[in-house]
Amino acid sequence: MNVQMQVCGLIILLLILYFYKRQDTVGLYTEALFRRALYTCMACLVLDILSVILIVNQDRLPGLLVRAECKMYLVSLVGTGYVALAYACADAFSLTKVSKFVKMIGAASAVAGIVIFLLPVNIFCEGRDVYTYGPACIATYIGAVVLLLATLFYTARSGNGMNPRRRRAIRIWMIIWLAAAVIQLMNSEILLVGFASALGIVVLFFELENPEANIDRKTGFFNARAFIDYVKHKYNSSEEVAGMLVSLDNAHSNDIRIEHMADIMAEVTELIRRIPETKRFKTDDREFTLVFDNSEQMERAYNMINQRFQREWLEDADDKTPVSLQPYYVLVPTGSVADDADEMLGFLRYFKAHCMDNPENHVNIIDENSVAKKKERDAMLATIVKAMEEDRVEVFFQPIYATHTKKFVSAEALVRIRREDGSIIPPGLFIPIAEETGLIVKLGERVFEKVCRFITKHTPEQYGVEYIEINLSVVQCEAKSLAKCYSDIMDKYKINPAFINLEITESASIVMRKTLLDNMKTLINYGVSFSLDDFGNGQSNLNYIVDMPVHIVKFDRDMTQAYFESEKARYVLQAATDMIQGLGLKVVAEGVETAEQLRELERLGIDYIQGYYFSKPIEADRYLEFLKVKNV
């Protein structure tokens, strides 16, 4: 009998089924569709083999039984085309829409199957030629070809909405199936259609549906690829779940010897394995993600894990020093806080990084409040970028008064961003975000260039201005290219470097200290001077004034105001002033708001005064008008 190909195909599918069942599956909708396709193709092969057996032995069997079985085989071919199209559509819509579409195609295929079963079929058997023909076969070819072409058409027009690997696998399957049908039509002795279906399943298995590809080899948990697919599946099915990310990428673990970390990871893996009611994913080298049906399960797991981490690891091991670990947790309570799976995955990456940037707060909860803050942050970031593109970044100037000349000899240049409607965005809203994202470097360069352009165009020295102060953020101070960049800009606008004073903060003086000092040395040699800004409100001590090559020290507003409110603060500020001036440096007091405060600070001997008493930060043209009036 001519059933060798079908038997080989069936054996292949049985092996695929064996390997498929050996491993846990994630629980994706595509896995259910693949199983449906696998079982349908197996049924098709069994019916194909059985039809050949019955046709060969038709003399000893009722003709009605033989024809009925042959028609069932023909119907199964249409069923194979249906499951292929259903599998191809897995990425098309939400699961609800996919289910409706699949049911609609299934209903149409069922009607086609009934029609095929009701139509007459003829049987031919002579030597190795065993086949059926007639109206039922014609209807089968039409139905199968329609489904095949519909599948190819869908994969061609699906664009970015379809998994490219799924598109490729489906196309290979359909091409194999079409080629087999053409060969079998031209040579009826070669029964290839059923075997071609088996080859298509093999392609799907190795390209997409092999459960082994979703397993992390070291832990036996699902891997990062499976996690991404699972999150997308849950969003497509509109199912609410809770989740928890546990990361050991912290400062403590980075100091542990590699062999010790391997032992700790083995213990953590075993701990995670004992967590009930969860799907376990190994999403990074030192990161686990657990998914639960509800928040209660997640909270129980969090308490269990956190309690276990409140102990010394490796404490029972010989010749190994116990170490303390503090994981980072990102918790996702039950509820939809993202519009789609990609947004949720972005949230997980963002909030994990946010935890790592804030080691004192190792738990982050992705709830509506935190998501709203992130979206505000993203919106502000987009606003900054667009404002820079459209040149809506402006420089305001706050005048600085010299007590010895009674003139306004300087100003602090402050960045402002103007909205499209003309209003000004407060710097407290955009500066932290620009610093967090590193955008402050480009923003700072833009401000510096605008100040240099202002100096060249308006020559403020004609109004008594001796220098302009420009702030440097901590991030800018870490850039090795800072000195060259700023000197190039000054060269471009032919600025006298002595007219530029750069302000660094106390925190900037302890971050990347060598890089900062190298930049300062280069710029000082070029002719630029430096101020230490916000003195008294940072992480440094008085030794920093000695160590840092600055010419001016600025008391921040809080320190200035404290002088008028506290006797202790009065002594501290007076002593600091005497010490700073004793070192040959100048002192600026910020935050002066009244005439009484001005007179008192003049009596104290403060060199420069800055504050709302004289002026708030103002636009460049208003600053020029201010100078023309005040410095007469």
**Cβ-based neighbours of 79, under 8 Å, separated by 6 or more:** 40, 43, 44, 109, 113
**Cβ-based neighbours of 325, under 8 Å, separated by 6 or more:** 248, 250, 252, 253, 264, 309, 313
Token pair belonging to 181: 């049908």
pTM of the model: 0.72
Contact at 8 Å (CB) between 464 and 409?
A: yes
Looking at residue 420, which CATH number applies to its domain? Answer: 3.20.20.450
How far is residue 284's CA from residue 353's CA, in Å, rounded to a whole number?
Answer: 13
Q: Same domain for 357 and 405? A: no
List of long-range contacts for 596-604, beta carbons under 8 Å, 24+ apart:
597/560, 597/564, 598/401, 600/563, 600/564, 601/403, 601/560, 601/563, 602/403, 604/573, 604/574, 604/577
Residue 144: per-residue pLDDT = 82
Q: Same domain for 99 and 183? A: yes
> β-pairing, 287-292 with 608-609?
unpaired
Residue 205 falls inside a structural domain: yes
Q: What is the pLDDT of residues 505-550, one digit of tens each?
A: 866 555 577 888 899 999 999 999 999 988 866 555 566 777 789 9
251 has pLDDT over 50:
no
Stretch 273-287: mean pLDDT, rounded? 91
Q: Same domain for 443 and 457? A: yes
Structural domain that includes position 10: 4-213
| Alpha helix ranges (H) inside 237-340 | 251-254, 258-273, 295-309
Decide which of 466 and 253 is more confident: 466
Q: Same domain for 302 and 422? A: no
Q: Same domain for 552 and 532? A: yes
Token pair belonging to 526: 């070029």
Decide which of 90 and 342 is more confident: 342
Contact at 8 Å (CB) between 511 and 505?
A: no
Stretch 117-136: mean pLDDT, rounded? 80
Domain count, the chain: 3
Q: Is 621 exposed, middle or buried (0-12, 13-18, 19+ CB in 10 A)?
A: exposed
Contact at 8 Å (CB) between 444 and 473?
A: yes
Of the candidates 236, 102, 100, 92, the residue with the CA atom closest to the CA atom of residue 157: 92
300 has pLDDT over 60:
yes
- Which residues pair with residue 402 across a beta bridge? 407, 608
Q: What is the pLDDT of residues 224-237, one digit of tens each?
A: 999 998 998 888 77
Q: What secondary structure letter does DSSP report for 553?
A: E
Of the candidates 463, 477, 467, 469, the residue with the CA atom closest to the CA atom of residue 507: 477
Contact at 8 Å (CB) between 124 and 131?
A: yes
603 has pLDDT over 90:
yes
Q: Same domain for 154 and 71? A: yes
Domain boundary pick from 175, 194, 213: 213
Residue 261 falls inside a structural domain: yes
How far is residue 274's CA from residue 357's CA, in Å, rounded to a whole number?
Answer: 30
Strands (DSSP E) found in 199-286 = 222-223, 242-247, 279-284
Instruction: Decide: helix, strand or coil at residue 222.
Output: strand
Instruction: Decide: helix, strand or coil at residue 594.
Output: coil
Q: Same domain for 206 and 262? A: no
Q: What is the pLDDT of residues 556-593, one digit of tens each?
A: 899 999 999 988 989 989 999 998 999 899 999 999 99
How far is residue 129's CA from residue 146's CA, in Å, rounded to a whole number?
Answer: 27
Stretch 272-294: mean pLDDT, rounded? 92
Of the candidates 627, 535, 530, 508, the residue with the CA atom closest to the CA atom of residue 590: 535
Residue 379 falls inside a structural domain: no
Residue 375 falls inside a structural domain: no
How far is residue 203's CA from residue 34's CA, in Å, rounded to a whole number?
Answer: 11
Residue 421: per-residue pLDDT = 92
Residue 510: per-residue pLDDT = 56
What dihedral angle (degrees, nearest 10) is formed by the CA atoms of 295, 297, 302, 303?
110
Token pair belonging to 528: 């630029």
- What percentage of the chain has pLDDT greater than the value 90? 42
Q: Same domain for 56 and 185? A: yes
Looking at residue 131, which CATH number applies to its domain? Answer: 1.20.1070.10
Q: What is the pLDDT of residues 361-414, one digit of tens each?
A: 788 899 888 888 888 999 999 999 999 999 999 999 999 999 999 999 999 999
**Cβ-based neighbours of 505, under 8 Å, separated by 6 or more:** 474, 532, 533, 534, 538
Stretch 186-197: mean pLDDT, rounded? 77
Mapped to the 3 state alphabet, what secondary structure does 162-188 carry? Answer: CCHHHHHHHHHHHHHHHHHHHHHHHCC
Residue 178: per-residue pLDDT = 83
Q: What is the pLDDT of residues 342-363, one digit of tens each?
A: 888 888 888 888 877 776 778 8
Q: Same domain for 118 and 245? A: no
325 has pLDDT over 90:
no
Q: Same domain for 437 and 537? A: yes
Residue 557 falls inside a structural domain: yes
Token pair belonging to 399: 């005048």
Q: What is the pLDDT of residues 426-460, one digit of tens each?
A: 999 999 999 888 899 999 999 999 999 999 999 99
Residue 87: per-residue pLDDT = 83
Domain boundary pick from 213, 230, 254: 213
List of long-range contacts for 27-31, beta carbons under 8 Å, 24+ apart:
27/230, 27/233, 27/279, 28/229, 28/230, 28/233, 29/90, 29/95, 29/98, 29/233, 29/236, 29/237, 30/87, 30/90, 30/166, 30/208, 30/209, 30/229, 30/233, 31/209
> β-pairing, 608-609 with 393-402?
antiparallel
| Lowest mean per-residue pLDDT among 190-194, 253-257, 312-316, 554-558 | 253-257
| Lowest mean per-residue pLDDT among 95-104, 164-173, 198-207 | 95-104
Q: What secondary structure letter does DSSP report for 274?
A: T
How far is residue 567's CA from residue 563's CA, in Å, rounded to a whole number?
Answer: 7
Residue 443 falls inside a structural domain: yes
Terminal Cα distance for the chain, rounded: 114
Q: What is the average pLDDT value for the chain, to the nearest integer?
A: 86
Looking at residue 244, which CATH number applies to its domain? Answer: 3.30.70.270
Residue 536: per-residue pLDDT = 67
Q: What is the pLDDT of residues 49-80, one digit of tens each?
A: 898 888 888 888 888 888 888 889 888 888 88
How far is residue 411's CA from residue 590's CA, in Å, rounded to a whole number?
Answer: 12
Residue 374 falls inside a structural domain: no
How far is residue 66's CA from residue 56's CA, in Å, rounded to a whole number?
Answer: 10
Residue 254: per-residue pLDDT = 47
Of the candidates 45, 80, 79, the residue with the CA atom closest to the CA atom of residue 204: 80
Contact at 8 Å (CB) between 611 and 617?
A: no
Q: Same domain for 237 and 191? A: no
CA 506 to chain centre: 33
Residue 326: per-residue pLDDT = 79
Residue 397 falls inside a structural domain: yes
Q: Same domain for 265 and 346? A: yes
Residue 1: per-residue pLDDT = 47
The CA angle 163-164-168, to the nearest 5 degrees, is 120
